[in-house]
Amino acid sequence: MEITNTARIEAPLDQVWDVLRDIPRTARCLPGTTIDEKIDEQTYKAGVTLKVGPVALTYRATIRRTLLDESAHAAVLDVEAADTKGRGNAAATMRTSAGADGEATIVTVAADARISGVLAQFGGGMIQSVAGRLLAQFAANVREEVARGRSAT
């Protein structure tokens, strides 16, 4: 299933890209995601909790960056996750890109998601809706992360 969303973040491209190129900072912006372990500079173990309809799911995930293109402000993450209760798996190749739009930044996230188990039963419409909500929260969290970064300097 291909899921693509775009968000406008009211912050300059260089500041947004500083967040997006840093896997732990990006993870802090993803609702329900925590980095649990750094394997190497490109690979992390994470916990992901999300609610789809009436079901709350908790996944153990491996996040691996397979591409970081500084000049194009683009990155690719491969994510593999297993539900902690054995109710299914999820995997995705996520392509993120950022571009300047005046003083703001347009962030596009495209994911090729492969899901099985409980989550797959909800169908594409519900998953698209949840993905849109998560991206909106992600964009708000990136704005806050950029503001924290500016105030820390």
Residue with tokens 């039963």: 121
Count how many domains the chain has. Answer: 1
Mean pLDDT confidence for 43-65: 91
CATH, residue 122? 3.30.530.20
Range of the domain at 58: 2-152
Of 63-72, 73-82, 106-115, the one with minimum mean pLDDT is 106-115
* C-alpha distances in Å from residue 53, one per residue of 57, 81, 102: 11, 19, 37
pTM equals 0.84
pLDDT tens, residue by residue, 6-34? 889 999 999 999 999 999 999 989 889 99
Rounded Cα–Cα distance for residues 137 and 3 (Å): 16
Whether 131 shows a pLDDT value over 70: the answer reads yes
Residue with tokens 């704005």: 143
> Given this model, what pLDDT does residue 153 score?
43
pLDDT tens, residue by residue, 81-106? 999 999 889 898 999 999 999 999 99
Of 1, 133, 5, 117, nearest to 59 by C-alpha is: 117
For residue 118, the number of C-alpha atoms closer than 13 Å in the C-beta half-sphere is: 17
- What token pair was written down for 110? 């495209």
Whether 68 shows a pLDDT value over 90: the answer reads yes
Whether 114 shows a pLDDT value over 90: the answer reads no
